[in-house]
Amino acid sequence: MTIDSTQALLRQAIEYGCEYLAGLDARPVFPDAQALAALDDFDEALPSQPTPPTDVLRQLHRLGSPATTANAGGRYFGYVNGGALPAALAGRVLADCWDQNAALQLMSPVAAKLEAICERWLVDLLRLPEESAVGMVSGTSVASLCGLLAGRNALLTRAGWDVKQQGLFGAPALRVVMSRGAHATIRKALAVLGIGAAQIELVPADEQGRMNAKTLPLLDERTLLIVQAGNVNSGAFDPFTPLCEAARRAGAWVHVDGAFGLWARACSARQGLTEGVDLADSWSVDAHKTLNSPYDCGLIICKDRRALAVALQANDAYIHFGGGRDGMLYTPDMSRRARSIELWAALKSLGRAGVDALVTQLCQRAQQFADELGARGFRILNDVVFNQTLVACETPELTTRTLENVQTSGECWCSGTNWRGEPAIRVSVCSWMTTVDDVRRSVAAFAAAREAAS
C-alpha cells in the first residue's frame, strides 16, 4: 500500500466509525440474535493469499459493528464500563496513527512529555502527595498488582530482606488485611505475588460494604492493608482516616483500590467520601471508567516513587534512559501504547471544573435511577453515594427474570450480582452520554421487563 491508499483506508474507517456513533441511540444496547449469529462468518481458515485492506475493513464493519455492546452510548450500565469523551476519542485516533511505543523518552518524546504532564495534573486533581509517581497501565487489575508489588517489596526491605536479590523463598512472612468485600482483582493480584489465602485476614464489612474499622486487627510493620474507594456493588467507601492512621502507627503499607471511586476526590460534592485517602501509600484507579478516557487506561499511583521504580525497573546495555520521563520505570511492561495521549486529551478538554461536573452528573443519574425505580415499586438495596445503584424486585425469582428481560430488551443493559444473600440488578452509571431521558427510558424498560416476568 502507498501513503495515499493508507489515507483513503483511514478515511473509510473514520466514516464507518461516524456511522456507528450516529446510530447508537437506535441500535440495541446489547446485540440481537441475528448480529451474534453473523459473527460466525468470521470463522474461516487463515487465507493463503493477502486480502485487500478495504475488504478487511468492510467485513469488520459489516459483522463487527452490529455485534458490539453500545457502551459508547447513554444506556449501557454494566460492569462499570465508561464511555469515551470526544476529545479523548479523537486523541486516541491520532495516537493510533502515530503508533508510539511509550517505554522510553528516546522512543517517543511526545508520549514521555504528556506522561509527565498527566502525572502532575492527576496528583494535583486527586489531591495526593505531590511527590507521588503515576504509571500508566491497562487497568486497575494491573495497577493493583503494581501497588501491592511495591508495598510487598518495601515491607520486605524494611525487614532486611532484598527480594530482588534473595527471591521469595525463605523471606519473612507478610500479612494481608482487607475487607470481605474486596474486589476479585485484589485476590488475583495477591495470588500472582505469591500471597495465598492463608496469609489474608478478612475484616467484616457493614451493610453497605464498608470495612468496619472497629474490627480491624492489630497491624504491624509486615502488613499490607488494602482498602476500597467504591465498593463494586454498592459504591460505598471505606473509612480511610482511622484505617490509614492505624496503618501509619504500625508501619504497615496501605493500598487503595479506587478503580472508579477515587475520582470522587475531584468532585466538590463527593470529596467527603475520600477523607483521609491521601494518607495511603499507593492507589489504583481507572481513567477508562469514571473519567471516560477510551479503553484501556489504568493508573498506578505510588507515594514512594523509588519503591515503585525499583519494583518494576529493568536494565540492559541496549536500554538508554533519557533526561526526562521514561515510562517503563513505572509499569511492568516495556513496549506499550502511549496511553498518555488520550488521557491528556481527556483532562485537557475537561479541566478541573469539567471533571467535577462529569463525576457529579454520573452520581446524579445514579440517584435518578434510585428515585424513579423506587417510585415504581422496585427495592433499592444500597445508599446511593456515588454512581452505583442496586435494585431488586419483590422476590429473588422475579429479580432474576426481570434482569434477563432487561438484558434482552435492547433498551438498556445492566449486569447482575449477589448482594447480602439475594440476587440484585447492578446499575453502574459511567458514561458522559447518559441523560435524564436515557434514565427515564431505561426505567420504563425495567418496568416492562418486570411486568413480562410476573
Structure confidence by residue, pLDDT tens digits, 293-311 = 999 999 999 999 999 999 9
CB atoms within 10 A of CB 400: 18
* Average of per-residue pLDDT values in the chain: 97
363 and 334 share one domain: no
290 contact partners, CB below 8 Å, separation of at least 6: 82, 260, 261, 263, 358, 359, 362, 387, 430
Q: What is the residue-wise DSSP string for 316-357?
A: -TT----SS--GGGGSS-SS-B-THHHHHHHHHHHHHHHHHH
Taking only Cα atoms into account, the Rg of the chain, rounded to an integer number of angstroms, comes to 23
Instruction: Report the share of the chain in percent with pLDDT over 90.
Output: 97
Residue 282: phi and psi, rounded to 5, are: -150, 155
Query: CA 241 to CA 114: how far, in whole Å?
Result: 33
105 and 233 share one domain: yes
pLDDT of amino acid 34: 96
pLDDT of amino acid 432: 98
303 and 266 share one domain: yes
pLDDT of amino acid 91: 97
Question: Does 257 score more than 90 pLDDT?
Answer: yes
105 and 120 share one domain: yes
Mean of the pLDDT values across residues 266-273? 98
Question: Does 317 score more than 90 pLDDT?
Answer: no
Mean of the pLDDT values across residues 305-322? 92
73 is a domain residue: no
Question: Does 241 score more than 90 pLDDT?
Answer: yes
Question: Does 388 score more than 90 pLDDT?
Answer: yes
- pTM, entire model: 0.97
Look at residue 433 and give its three-state secondary structure. Answer: coil
pLDDT of amino acid 315: 87
Q: What is the number of domains present in the chain?
A: 3
- Tens of pLDDT, residue by residue over 88-112, are 999 999 999 999 999 999 999 999 9
Mean of the pLDDT values across residues 306-326? 91
31 and 64 share one domain: yes
Q: CA angle, corner 329, sides to 325 and 335, nearest 5?
A: 95
pLDDT of amino acid 92: 97
36 and 156 share one domain: no
Question: Does 1 score more than 90 pLDDT?
Answer: no
Last residue in a domain, options 288, 311, 346? 346
60 and 98 share one domain: no
Give the CATH number, domain containing residue 420.
3.90.1150.10
Question: Does 322 score more than 90 pLDDT?
Answer: no
Q: Residue 408 burial by CB count (10 A; 0-12/13-18/19+): exposed, middle or buried?
A: middle
Quick check: 227 and 211 in contact, CB under 8 A?
yes
Mean of the pLDDT values across residues 65-92? 96
339 and 386 share one domain: no
DSSP H or E segment with residue 447: helix 436-453
204 is a domain residue: yes
322 and 358 share one domain: no
Per-residue b or e along 363-381, where b marks 16 or more CB atoms closer than 10 Å to that residue's CB: bbbbbbbbebbeeeebebb
Instruction: Report the share of the chain in percent with pLDDT over 70.
Output: 100
331 and 293 share one domain: yes
Confidence category of residue 211, pLDDT binned at 50, 70, 90? very high
Last residue in a domain, options 346, 362, 389? 346
CB atoms within 10 A of CB 214: 9
Question: Does 323 score more than 90 pLDDT?
Answer: no
278 and 341 share one domain: yes
- Tens of pLDDT, residue by residue over 4-44, are 999 999 999 999 999 999 999 999 999 999 999 999 999 99
- Tens of pLDDT, residue by residue over 329-370, are 999 999 999 999 999 999 999 999 999 999 999 999 999 999
85 is a domain residue: no
Strand order through the sheet with 422-428: 76-77, 413-419, 422-428, 388-392, 379-380
Query: CA 442 to CA 369: how far, in whole Å?
Result: 9
17 is in which domain, residue-wise? 3-68
81 is a domain residue: no
130 and 207 share one domain: yes
- Tens of pLDDT, residue by residue over 126-164, are 999 999 999 999 999 999 999 999 999 999 999 999 999
